Amino acid sequence: MPLVEVTLAEGRTADQVRNLMREVHQAVLRTVDTRPEHIRVIVREVPRTHWATGDVTLTEMDAARAGQAGRDAGQQHDRRSEVPSDGVTPGDREFS
């Protein structure tokens, strides 16, 4: 009886988890000589606060990424809003 255990960080939808289970079941069925009713698939979801890599939790990584994305967006906005002291933007100069 094949038993496959998958551990994921929380955050997937019920449909995503169900599709994963279906795909794992099908992969085992294709590759192992067993009957479908003998295949066991267990999915364990771990809270993002309980999973760390390099002493940084997934929640902390998410927050750092969100903060960086916000800073990046702010920098892009700042560059777009820069107007030279003469009040003419580079795009305006092309048509002068």
Catalytic positions are 2
Are 35 and 2 a contacting pair, CB within 8 Å?
A: no
Are 62 and 48 a contacting pair, CB within 8 Å?
A: yes
Residue that has been written with the tokens 């998410």 in this structure: 62
Using CA atoms, how far residue 89 sits from 63, 75, 85, in Å, is: 35, 17, 9
